[in-house]
């Protein structure tokens, strides 16, 4: 895809629409108001540049005629103006009246006393065309202050991961929502991975691969089988970073108001509507729970909870399995 460098009204949303057009057309054109075009996209090599009288008002019409003769149905974007001469700047643009574009991605992070983790998590989520929303459940430490200093928008909600994530989603402006645990760091260039995964319109929910910040043979073994389960059974967990289109999230009613495994219930709801896909990169989650309870015990608890959910057990009965015993004083 080729674009001009003098198109002030071009935006990420328009470019996204251009790539979406290539899903069903071999040729995408962005018409300019002077009779040419400011964007051209192709799915395969096409010799559409020869025989065109360039720098004339007939460039677009000649290109469309060529496409018709070649049996190609082009996808046309909205016309935009390019800047060829100083006169193209008239009338002057009032920048104060231009509203900032909505972000493509809203990263929603539920928190409760996560001052040790939230900084690294927010730094991993920082990206262009992205907003970060921290929905706090009443932290008494420096979580909110750190998040605000790093540019996150703070909203407050009733304690409970499902409630906090739903509250954050209601405040989000992005077309795509990413629900991220406060102790999970995103891979490099997460927006690109999310965009590529959701380019397939059949995919209704995606997640990253699973990894932890503890490199040991046991944890590598756990990570391997976690990714096997997520990929084969299409059952990723929330600590893999679940992402989906905003409209799909609200169509299924968001996260159910359950005390445990709200991520699994959401994934099951979405699986009835389309495909579940894994992005190739891994999100790195803290191994603190595995270190606290032990890798095998933690894996067993997670498996029991997932099995119980799939078997239709009441979430309230499963919630007690997830409680982490407090360390003894001096331990």
- Interval 226-249: pLDDT, tens: 999 888 888 899 999 999 999 999
- Secondary structure (3-state) at 134: strand
pLDDT band at 329 (very low <50, low <70, confident <90, very high): very low
Q: Where in the chain is the domain with CATH 3.90.550.10?
A: 2-83, 105-321
Long-range contacts: 265-271, Cβ < 8 Å, 24+?
Answer: 265/309, 265/315, 266/205, 266/242, 267/205, 267/234, 267/235, 267/236, 267/242, 268/309, 268/310, 270/204, 270/205, 270/244, 271/204, 271/205, 271/234
DSSP 97: G
Task: Report the C-alpha gap between 185 and 240 in whole angstroms.
Answer: 9
pLDDT band at 331 (very low <50, low <70, confident <90, very high): very low
**Are 165 and 108 a contacting pair, CB within 8 Å?**
yes
Average pLDDT over residues 149-173: 93
Write out the H or E segment, with its range, that includes residue 164. Answer: helix 161-171
E-only strand ranges, the chain: 2-3, 27-31, 37-42, 75-76, 105-111, 130-136, 153-156, 176-179, 184-185, 203-212, 242-245, 275-285
- Angstrom distances, CA of residue 137 to CA of 10, 107, 157, 163: 39, 17, 6, 9
pTM of the model: 0.68
Domain 2-83 of CATH type 3.40.50.1110: no
Least confident of 55-69, 88-102, 142-156, 246-260: 88-102
Q: Which residue has the higher pLDDT, 21 or 209?
A: 209
Percent helix, percent strand, percent coil in the chain, to nearest 5: 40, 20, 40
Task: Report the C-alpha gap between 45 and 114 in whole angstroms.
Answer: 51
Strands 27-31 and 37-42, by their bridges, are antiparallel
Q: Is the pLDDT of residue 325 over 60?
A: no
Give 61-98 pLDDT, tens digit per residue: 888 888 888 888 888 888 888 887 766 665 555 555 55
Task: Report the C-alpha gap between 211 and 285 in whole angstroms.
Answer: 6
* pLDDT for the residue 93: 56
> Chain-wide mean pLDDT for the chain?
87
- 105-321 CATH pick, 3.40.50.2300, 2.40.160.20, 3.90.550.10, 3.40.190.10: 3.90.550.10
Which residues have CB under 8 Å from 267's CB, separation 6+?
Answer: 205, 234, 235, 236, 242, 276
């Amino acid at each position: 895809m080729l674009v001009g460098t003098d198109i002030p009204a071009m935006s990420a949303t328009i470019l996204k629409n251009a790539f979406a057009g290539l899903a069903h057309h071999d040729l995408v054109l962005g018409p300019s108001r002077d009779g040419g075009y400011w964007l051209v996209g192709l799915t395969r090599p096409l010799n559409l540049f020869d025989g065109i009288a360039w720098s004339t008002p007939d460039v677009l019409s000649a290109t469309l005629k060529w496409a018709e003769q070649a049996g190609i149905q082009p996808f046309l974007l909205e016309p935009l103006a390019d800047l060829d001469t100083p006169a193209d700047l008239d009338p002057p643009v009032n920048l104060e009246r231009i509203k900032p574009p909505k972000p493509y991605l809203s990263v929603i992070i539920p928190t409760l006393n996560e001052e040790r983790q939230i900084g690294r998590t927010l730094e991993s989520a920082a990206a262009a065309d992205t907003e970060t929303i921290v929905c706090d459940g009443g932290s008494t430490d420096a979580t909110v202050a750190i998040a605000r200093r790093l540019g996150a928008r703070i909203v407050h909600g009733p304690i409970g991961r499902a409630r906090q994530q739903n509250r954050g989603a209601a405040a989000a402006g992005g077309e795509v929502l990413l629900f991220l645990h406060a102790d999970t760091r995103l891979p490099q260039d997460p927006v690109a991975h999310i965009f590529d995964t959701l380019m397939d319109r059949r995919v209704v929910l995606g997640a990253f691969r699973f990894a932890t910040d503890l490199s040991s043979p046991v944890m590598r073994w756990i990570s391997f089988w976690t990714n096997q389960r997520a990929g084969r059974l299409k059952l990723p967990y929330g600590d893999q970073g679940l992402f989906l289109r905003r409209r799909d999230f609200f169509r299924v009613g968001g996260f159910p108001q359950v005390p445990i495994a709200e991520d699994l219930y959401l994934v099951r709801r979405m699986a009835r509507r389309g495909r579940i896909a894994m992005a190739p990169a891994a999100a790195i989650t803290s191994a603190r729970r595995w270190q606290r309870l032990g890798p095998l015990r933690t894996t067993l608890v997670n498996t029991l909870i997932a099995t119980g959910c799939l078997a239709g057990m009441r979430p309230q009965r499963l919630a007690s399995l997830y409680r982490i015993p407090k360390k003894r004083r001096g331990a």
